[in-house]
Amino acid sequence: MYRVIEVARMLGVSKVTIYKKVNKNKKILKNHIHTRSNITYIDDVGVDIIKDTIEINSSNIYSGSNDVDELKKEYLDDMSETIDFLSSQIQIKKKQIQKKDEIIEAYKSILKSNRGKLQYLDSKINQVN
C-alpha cells in the first residue's frame, strides 16, 4: 500500500494529478483505494491502473526537446489542476463549517432551554426551603 504522495513520486506527477485520476476512475479503483485517518492509500493494482491512465511521454522528458513554451504550459496545467483540487477542498470545508455552525446554534438553544429549567428548579427548591 502506498500513500498518494508516494504514488505521485513513483509516476513523476503531482499528487493533485493522482487525486484527479482517482476521482475520474472511482469505479475501477474502488477496491484498490483505502482511507485511514484521512490518508489515502493505493495498493499495487491501483497504482498500475493509475499508471495506465497517465499519459507519460518519456521520450520528450529525457531528450531535452521540450521548449520553454511547453514547460510553461505543463506548469500552468499543473497549477490549474492544483487550483481545481484546492477549490473543491474549500467547498468541502465551507460545508463542514456551515454544519458546525448549525450544531453550535442547536447547542446554544439547548443551553438556553436548560438554563430556564435550572432557574425554575432553583425557584422550586427555594420555595420548599
Q: For each successive 10 residues of the chain (129 residues), what is the average pLDDT?
A: 89 88 88 89 91 61 56 81 91 96 96 91 88
The secondary structure of residue 36, as a DSSP letter, is E
Compute φ and ψ for 35, nearest 5 degrees.
-120, 130
Domain boundary among 56, 75, 95: 56
Q: What is the pLDDT of residue 59?
A: 39
Please classify residue 126 by burial: count the beta carbons closer than 10 Å to its beta carbon, then call 0-12 exposed, 13-18 middle and 19+ buried: exposed
Domains: count for the chain: 2
The two most distant CA atoms of the chain are separated, in Å, by 94
Q: What is the pLDDT of residue 95?
A: 96
119: containing domain:
67-129
61 within a domain of the structure (yes/no): no
Q: What is the pLDDT of residue 97?
A: 97
Is residue 1 domain-shared with residue 45, that is, in the same domain? Answer: yes
Is residue 117 domain-shared with residue 82, that is, in the same domain? Answer: yes
2: β partners: 42
